[in-house]
């Protein structure tokens, strides 16, 4: 494996761009996952409250 410090500037900048893109994708997927998970949880709580008639104030 090549030492990244010895790469020419154009290859090094491409590598940093790719790493930045991977980090951005991970952040976006985490945010989407939390949003979807919270919506699913909220739908379950609302369904339970409708069936029992009792508010679930956790």
**Predicted structure pTM score:** 0.69
**Alpha carbon distance 52, 49 (integer Å):** 5
The pLDDT of residue 30 is 98
Supply φ then ψ for residue 30, to 5 degrees.
-65, -45
Gap between the Cα atoms of 32 and 53, Å rounded:
31
- pLDDT value of position 1: 63
pLDDT confidence of residue 54: 79
Question: pLDDT per position in the chain (58 positions), as tens?
Answer: 667 677 787 877 888 899 999 999 999 999 999 999 999 999 999 998 888 887 776 5
């Amino acid at each position: 494996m090549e030492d990244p410090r010895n790469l020419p500037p154009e290859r090094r900048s491409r590598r940093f761009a790719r790493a930045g893109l991977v980090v951005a994708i991970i952040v976006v997927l985490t945010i989407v996952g939390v949003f979807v998970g919270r919506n699913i949880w909220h739908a379950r709580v609302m369904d339970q409250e409708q069936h029992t008639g009792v508010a679930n104030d956790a």
